[in-house]
C-alpha cells in the first residue's frame, strides 16, 4: 500500500532488512509503504517499509525499487533468513 491505496508490485529479492520490488507505479525515495506478502503459501506478512532507491529498467515502463523494512520483529527476521537459505 502506498499513497493511501492498494497497489500491486512484484517481489524481486528479499533479505532480513528489506526487499526489492518491481512495479509500473511511480514512487519517491523516502516514501513510506506498507508491504503485504507471502514467504510461502501459509506465511503472510504485513510490514512497514521505506523506499530507499530507484532503478529504471531499460526498454520498459517497469521500475525496481529498493525498500528497507521499518522495525522488523526478530521472529520475522528469522523467517526471512530461513526462507532465503532454503531458496538459494
CB-CB contact of 33 with 50 (8 Å): yes
Cα separation, 6 vs 34, whole angstroms: 9
Is 5 part of a structural domain of the chain? no
Total domains in the chain come to: 1
Give residue-wise pLDDT tens across range 26-74: 899 999 999 998 887 788 889 999 999 999 888 888 899 999 999 998 9
User: CATH code at 75?
Assistant: 2.40.10.220
Is 44 part of a structural domain of the chain? yes
Is 34 part of a structural domain of the chain? yes
Is 2 part of a structural domain of the chain? no
0.95 surpassed by pTM = no
CB-CB contact of 11 with 17 (8 Å): no
Q: Which domain holds residue 18?
A: 10-87
- Provide the sign of the torsion angle of the four alpha carbons 1, 75, 73, 70, taken in this order: negative
Residue 84 clears pLDDT 60, i.e. is over it:
yes
Amino acid at each position: 500500500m502506498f499513497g493511501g491505496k492498494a497497489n500491486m508490485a512484484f517481489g524481486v529479492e528479499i533479505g532480513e532488512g528489506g526487499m526489492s520490488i518491481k512495479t509500473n507505479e511511480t514512487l519517491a525515495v523516502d516514501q513510506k509503504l506498507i508491504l503485504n506478502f507471502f514467504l510461502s503459501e501459509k506465511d503472510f506478512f504485513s510490514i512497514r517499509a521505506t523506499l530507499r532507491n530507484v532503478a529504471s529498467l531499460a526498454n520498459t515502463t517497469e521500475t525496481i525499487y529498493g525498500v528497507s523494512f521499518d522495525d522488523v520483529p526478530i521472529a520475522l527476521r528469522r523467517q526471512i533468513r530461513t526462507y532465503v537459505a532454503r531458496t538459494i
